[in-house]
Structure 1
Amino acid sequence: MTLIASNRRPEDAVYRHVIPAGEPWLFEVQKGQTLRLLDLEGNQAIDTLFY
């Protein structure tokens, strides 16, 4: 698998939030927005539900 660096700059994010492991988070993503999920500690999958 080849990794590709994102051209998006973290400092331009409209919203940034660190979610502790095991904690829920709810946010509305509007049409045309991009959602980026990162595992900052590199040892756990990110469970997501979109509808």
Structure 2
Amino acid sequence: MSSNSPLGGAPKCITKYSSCLTLFLEDGRIELASNSVECTIRTVALNCKK
């Protein structure tokens, strides 16, 4: 598996964000997805230049 593929980059991403992932898994109050989160992400994504 190439480290440049999306699946190959997953371990690097998990390592980079392990503290956030741990907080999310331990704290049941944090939502994975919600309308407010989706609206925020949409705004950021629409302003990204490719």
TM bin, normalised by shorter chain, reads under 0.3
Which TM-score applies when normalising by structure 2? 0.23
Higher helix share: 2
Q: Max radius of gyration: which structure?
A: 2
Which TM-score applies when normalising by structure 1? 0.23
